[in-house]
Structure 1
Amino acid sequence: MASAPVAVYADVVDLDPAPGVRLLEESGFEVRVLDSADPDAIVSGAHDAAALLIGYAPVTASMLDRLGSLQIVATQSVGIDSVDLDACRRLGIAVSNVPGAATEEVASHALAMSLALVRGLPFLDRAVADGVWDGTREQLLRLSEITVGVIGLGRIGARYARMIGPLVGRVVGYEPYGTAPDGVEQVELDELLDVSDLVSLHLPSTPDTQGLLDAGRLSRLRRGAMLVNASRGDLIDTAALLRALDDGVLSGAALDVLPHEPPARDDPLVRHPRTLVTPHAAYLSPASARDYVLHQAQSVLAHFAGTGTNLADPG
């Protein structure tokens, strides 16, 4: 009698894997939950695994070479940048992601951050806590008169654009991989930066997008512009962002993601008086927590049923 295929959860980040575990076990898998991102612990605990389910744990070529039974790596998020795709292609290992489980949550979070910046909420709150009762200390804008630039118009960027569109005067968008949805004027990146009062980032982390907003691009922004990032921390040059905040090029930045997470206690972006920072929480809700876990497990089942999509397949 053939033994059951093994599915292993590596790091479990913020979510309860129980619904996914139950689904996989009901489908005939033996399931282990390691709750670790340590490479050696993953290799040891998944030595006979056919499926590896990860949160944010890096999956390197060295690890993959030691996992001889592995057929699929299933990420818990849209991003697959923590997985060595070249090694997966070489070894014939499939890669899957969870593309739509938190589209509404992330778009809503970016919208909330945008409105908070436009009306100066985090900065006025801090001032009141410090004993300053003066609303004129912030430049509070009228929503219907601002231009919002959306960089990246995939599922989340397009949803954000649809949410904020009725509230503001104009929405422009830059989409390197496709076309803009209705209601969004598609422009080149430099033009978007030139005309926007607020810019919201919605791109994956790739070699082409890492450091996309560097000193040169940030300098194109209107003085006093605002920046929202609920996608990936490495899209922005951190040193350039700090200079833009210090110099007043940016009047504020709202960040749900940072280049290094969790940040050090003295991280200058976290401690800067003109930032609003949340702990990579944009995707969270009871509904998305359920959907992330179930969709991740379903992607494993789809692979073994021959109906899955392999993101490591160059074709």
Structure 2
Amino acid sequence: MDERGLHQLIGTIIDPERLEDDCAVIPCGDRLMVASTDMLHETTDFPIGMTGWQMGWMATAVTLSDVASMGAAPGEVLLAVGLDTPERLRGIMEGARDCCTRFGAELVGGDLDAHQELTIVSTGLGLVAPEHLVRRRGARPGDVIAVTGPLGEAEAALAGYDRHVKELLEPQPRVREGQALGRAGVSGMMDISDGLALSLHDLLAVNDCGFAVDTARLPLPAGVPEDEGRELALYGGGDFELLFTAPPDILPVPGVEAHVIGEVIPERTVLADGEPLERRGYLHEWKG
């Protein structure tokens, strides 16, 4: 059983449409509030050697990336930290604060307790005008499929390509790009922190169409052999780029680096170079 499978259980308890996007959407006056929560554990999410500052930065960036994927402007971030040793707190909080400052959010509070394993839970809030909200559902046949930057860089760092270590340890959520794409009228969007292939299957689950990508058009990690880079770009996690669909005539969007990698097709399938693309990427799994 993996985390996507458990969503089916959650969908029997709350409205399953609430589970379709990177954030919950809540009416807030004449705008919409988006809200996301992410949990990171040291043994599964923080590579060995990360500083406390980088852990705080990453925990915040994960949540701000979700807010960006909805086309929203970030507002507030709350951080709950389960500490194994209290000496680590300052670095974590300073990293979270600095990430908020860099991307226009504010760290406003959270919670503390004692854990055997360092655990950080980040909650992010953002606001967006209803006409600029972008959901995962909305792709239409004939739309192009695009991403905002190179894929596979974080995974390349884990594979020993040290030139990509900063992308792994200090990810940059595409906050400005998400808002620009929302204003431009893209039809669907999500972040791809769990890998491109898995993200395309996530889009398939909520749309009445399919997705066909041309792997020759993927923006690959620099300095990695092409075949290995293509594998990392398809299945590697931790990139925090945005994956979006859009009518071809709205591109390019000013100020947004966009790489067109395929097109939306009528058939409900995910294809790479004309063949079915394996549903594989970064997933939390339970054995047995």
TM-score, shorter chain, exceeding 0.5: no
Q: What TM-score, normalized by structure 2, do the two folds share?
A: 0.29
Q: Which is richer in strand?
A: 2
User: Which structure has the larger Rg?
Assistant: 1
Q: Give the TM-score, by structure 1 length.
A: 0.27
